[in-house]
Structure formats: structure tokens, C-alpha cells
């Protein structure tokens, strides 16, 4: 979980940053965007998912730290924090049952619900930076 949720994001971001900074000069908009996907679990901790929460809090914190570091170079960083979303991870034994025990049954978001936030973030005018978006199912507490 740490490798997928955190280390992969850190390694890819580190490798891409110099290219992104260079791309600002040739971008017609004079700005580039990095959009990281975290989780509501990166805003609020919950019992029985401490390591998951830790990785998601780290994604949110790293995104904001990079935002502060690179904003003057016109690299915008955003984080999307989805709530319960129907993905392959939920099909692992006990994952959905544990969530339901804590929060009750909710209609889960679909991947495309989250994907639709990305164009909203990256197509804004240069002067507009969307730093965080939280997306939850309507009936998720």
C-alpha cells in the first residue's frame, strides 16, 4: 500500500518536475498542472485503516508542499480526494464490508465521476488554481 499510494507518486513526480518546469515556457497558457488523486481518507482518519490514512494524508501533504514550492514557477498542484468509489480495491475480501460497518450502505462513485474533476482543474485560466477537491457520494456521511 505504501509503495502504490505514496512511493510511486513521489518517484513519478520527482522525475517529471524538471520537465514540467521547462514545459511552462512553451505552454500557450504559461502554466502546467499536476493532479494527484488521494482520498477522503487523506483528510479524516478512521479506525482500522491507519496505514491507508497515513499514505493518503502524505499524498495530500506532499501535493500542498509541492504547490508551495513550485507555484512561482507556474506549476500548479491539485489533489482530488474522493469518497467511496467503486474500484477493484473494493472487491478485496472484507473491504466494502468494513466500510459499510462504519458508514452504512452508500451508492459508490464511479471512476468517471472522479475523472471528470481533472478537466475542470486543468482548463482553468492561468490565474485560477484549484488546490483541493473533495468528491463524496451524496449519501456518504
14 assigned to some structural domain: yes
Contacts of 57 (CB under 8 A, 6+ apart): 41, 42, 43, 45
> What separation, in Å, do the N-terminal and C-terminal C-alpha atoms of the chain show?
25
Nearest residue to 34 (alpha-carbon basis) of 53, 22, 16: 16
Q: How many domains does the chain divide into?
A: 1
125 assigned to some structural domain: yes
61 assigned to some structural domain: yes
pLDDT for the residue numbered 56? 94
141 assigned to some structural domain: no
Rounded Cα distance between 77 and 63, Å, is: 6
56 assigned to some structural domain: yes
pLDDT for the residue numbered 108? 85
pLDDT digits (tens, 9 = 90+) for 47-58: 878 898 899 999
- Which CATH number is 126's domain given? 3.40.50.720
pLDDT for the residue numbered 72? 97
140 assigned to some structural domain: no
105 pLDDT exceeds 90? no
For residues 30-36, average pLDDT: 97
Show the cell assigned to 140.
456518504
Domain that holds residue 65: 2-135
**What's the mean pLDDT when you consider all of the chain?**
90
pLDDT digits (tens, 9 = 90+) for 79-92: 999 998 877 766 66
Amino acid at each position: 500500500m505504501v509503495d502504490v499510494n505514496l512511493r510511486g507518486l513521489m518517484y513519478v513526480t520527482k522525475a517529471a518536475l524538471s520537465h514540467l518546469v521547462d514545459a511552462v515556457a512553451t505552454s500557450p497558457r504559461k502554466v502546467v498542472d499536476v493532479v494527484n488523486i488521494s482520498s477522503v481518507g487523506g483528510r479524516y482518519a478512521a479506525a482500522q485503516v491507519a496505514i491507508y490514512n497515513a499514505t493518503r494524508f502524505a499524498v495530500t501533504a506532499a501535493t500542498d508542499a509541492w504547490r508551495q514550492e513550485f507555484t512561482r514557477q507556474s506549476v500548479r498542484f491539485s489533489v482530488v480526494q474522493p469518497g467511496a468509489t467503486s474500484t477493484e480495491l473494493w472487491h478485496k475480501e472484507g473491504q466494502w464490508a468494513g466500510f459499510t460497518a462504519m458508514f452504512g450502505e452508500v451508492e459508490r462513485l464511479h471512476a468517471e465521476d472522479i475523472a471528470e474533476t481533472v478537466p475542470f482543474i486543468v482548463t482553468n485560466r492561468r490565474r485560477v488554481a484549484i488546490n483541493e477537491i473533495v468528491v463524496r457520494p451524496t449519501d456518504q456521511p
